[in-house]
Amino acid sequence: MEDINEQRTQRIQKLETLRAMGIQPYGTRFDETHQIQPLVDSYGSKTKEELEHDTIECRTAGRIVALRRFGKAAFASLQDGAHRLQVYLKKDVLGEDSFRLSQELDLGDWVGVEGHLFRTKTDELTIEVQNLTFLSKGLRPLPEKWHGLTDIETRYRQRYVDLIANPAVHKIFETRSRLITGIRNYFTEQGFLEVETPMMHPIPGGATARPFVTHHNALDTDLYLRIAPELYLKRLIVGGFRRVFEINRNFRNEGISTIHNPEFTMLEFYQAYADYNDLMALTEDLFGKLAQDVCGTTKLEYQGQIIDLTPPWRRLPYFEAVLEYNRFDRTVLENRKAAEAAAKQLGLAIPKDATLIGIVNMIFEETVESKLIQPTFITDYPTEISPLSRRKDSDPSLTDRFELFITSRELANGFSELNDPIDQRQRFEAQVAQREAGDEEAHYLDEDFVRALEYGMPPTAGEGIGIDRMVMLFTNQASIRDVILFPQLRPEKPS
């Protein structure tokens, strides 16, 4: 089972050496005066003379990631998160016992150091260590210092090693966390209340997707991991919460790709008395502020392109978009035969029972989405493919809805919410008919949700933003696996 290699065996032997020296190889608390990054931030600009004149004493801790030994001295690089600082271990200063301990150190071990800052001959900020505290032993060798860990499978399966060996990866996940904190602050400051709704649903709803199924033994009932929190959040609006948001996982039982992970993080927020135009303005403002705060600019570099998040963003009605990116005329949008002919010309396989809108939507996905590099709101989606959205007053076949595309990917979906319970029931029934016709992704009829609407929901606008894809954009990552700490992989086979 466990791979036993030479280096690991040697290190296990070192545990005994340490114990024989009276050192606990798995220690306990250590008081730091500084973490490494603040230490470097505070004193990194001090000159050699300043550090000699005003002695800076400090205690800090980290993992040894580089070690350059001489006979009676050594330099080590201490890593804390994504940051490193050099320490100098000198026999004269450490004393006999501590120096002997320093001779036993391996790459990967955790230590605490106490000493003062100085600059070396080559002007590197360094701690001259007076006291060395052993904190924890590493038994496995770290990846090579120069190339690090590059094997993609190992990076995902053993993310802890990736994080040690690749500080840039550490920074991506710090950025992810900062973005999510920024989102929380943004909504909280605007009077939104963060709520938690069920992850396990008796009826999966709020999106068109296939769910994961699980079983509750005591209730003896199947439950579905949620595909979206939407219907629960709207129940809260019915209940009188004016503004709510939730940031959490959705689960969809579908393929895995560079932009799909079976569990992914979604922000959904709902605002009473607002409409979809308010949401588009809010989204521009949110992205702009996050970009400015986290990246220092609203012009982001993404995979060799500059994505300009400066508002306002382009708004393009759905049908206009289909016409703009194709050569055919308007009859394709109005006549099923014309639509089918156009689709065939594009090489699309059209199911026999496909509706006009169904065909147009296939054309949209095939010809429009890939062109939407810069932020674009596609608006006014057909009612037929928007079963939870409010109809347009000017044209009930369309809805007050938009999807946001950036770098050809859907990042957000928002709309004025359908709050007419009678219309909602009819839309659900149309979905149920589609499901019975074989569409596994069509919505279920959620009787309790309709009942909630019957109690009256104020006019409301709601939106979902795919956080992982947003993080990809802000951190310039091409694969969703590089912004999810533990992406879904096939289980490692037991060896």
Partner RNA sequence: GAGCCGCUAGCUCAGUUGGUAGAGCAUCGCCCUUUUAAGGCGAGGGCCGAGCGUUCGAGUCGCUCGCGGCUCACCA
Closest by CA to 241, choosing from 274, 267, 271, is 271
286 vs 343, which CB is nearer to RNA? 343
208 vs 298, which CB is nearer to RNA? 208
Other C-beta atoms within 10 Å of 198: how many?
Answer: 11
2 scored as a contact of RNA (CB under 7 A): no
273 scored as a contact of RNA (CB under 7 A): no
**From the list 106, 174, 278, 340, which residue makes contact with RNA (rule: CB under 7 A)?**
106
Rg, C-alpha atoms of the chain = 29
**From the list 56, 129, 164, 207, which residue makes contact with RNA (rule: CB under 7 A)?**
207
State in angstroms the smallest separation of the CB of 175 from RNA: 18
User: Helix (H, G, I), strand (E, B), or coil: what is residue 303?
Assistant: coil
Stretch that binds RNA, among 55-63, 67-75, 169-177, 314-322 (CB under 7 A): 67-75
What distance in Å separates the CA atoms of residue 379 and residue 381, rounded to the nearest whole number? 6
Name the DSSP letter for residue 298. Answer: S
What distance in Å separates the CA atoms of residue 244 and residue 201, rounded to the nearest whole number? 19
51 vs 432, which CB is nearer to RNA? 51
CB-count burial class (<10 Å; 0-12, 13-18, 19+) for 463 = buried
What distance in Å separates the CA atoms of residue 202 and residue 250, rounded to the nearest whole number? 15
248 vs 298, which CB is nearer to RNA? 248
User: Helix (H, G, I), strand (E, B), or coil: what is residue 345?
Assistant: helix
What distance in Å separates the CA atoms of residue 109 and residue 419, rounded to the nearest whole number? 60
156 scored as a contact of RNA (CB under 7 A): yes
Span 308-347, contacts to RNA by CB under 7 A: none
**From the list 22, 71, 304, 494, which residue makes contact with RNA (rule: CB under 7 A)?**
71
Stretch that binds RNA, among 119-127, 178-186, 317-325, 446-454 (CB under 7 A): 119-127
Stretch that binds RNA, among 21-29, 216-224, 451-459, 486-494 (CB under 7 A): 486-494
259 scored as a contact of RNA (CB under 7 A): yes
AA letter at 169: V
Span 132-151, contacts to RNA by CB under 7 A: 140-151
What distance in Å separates the CA atoms of residue 103 and residue 106, rounded to the nearest whole number? 9
Size of the site for RNA (CB under 7 A): 74
Other C-beta atoms within 10 Å of 486: how many?
Answer: 12
120 scored as a contact of RNA (CB under 7 A): yes
CB-count burial class (<10 Å; 0-12, 13-18, 19+) for 396 = exposed
Q: Site mask, RNA, residues 452-471, x = CB under 7 A? A: --------------x-xx--
What distance in Å separates the CA atoms of residue 432 and residue 149, rounded to the nearest whole number? 50
**From the list 44, 50, 52, 152, which residue makes contact with RNA (rule: CB under 7 A)?**
152
255 scored as a contact of RNA (CB under 7 A): yes
Other C-beta atoms within 10 Å of 254: how many?
Answer: 13
**From the list 254, 324, 447, 448, which residue makes contact with RNA (rule: CB under 7 A)?**
254
**From the list 234, 235, 243, 481, which residue makes contact with RNA (rule: CB under 7 A)?**
481
90 scored as a contact of RNA (CB under 7 A): yes
Number of H helices, E strands in the chain: 17, 18
**From the list 37, 208, 374, 476, which residue makes contact with RNA (rule: CB under 7 A)?**
208
72 vs 330, which CB is nearer to RNA? 72
Stretch that binds RNA, among 182-190, 270-278, 422-430, 481-489 (CB under 7 A): 481-489
AA letter at 283: T
Name the DSSP letter for residue 176. Answer: H
Tell me which residue has tokens 């090489």. Answer: 347
Span 347-366, contacts to RNA by CB under 7 A: 365
Span 363-392, contacts to RNA by CB under 7 A: 365
Non-local (6+) Cβ contacts of 269 within 8 A are 187, 192, 233, 243, 244, 245, 246, 462, 463
**Strands 83-90 and 125-136, bridge-based pairing:** parallel
State in angstroms the smallest separation of the CB of 292 from RNA: 25
63 scored as a contact of RNA (CB under 7 A): no
State in angstroms the smallest separation of the CB of 273 from RNA: 26
Span 427-446, contacts to RNA by CB under 7 A: 441
State in angstroms the smallest separation of the CB of 480 from RNA: 7
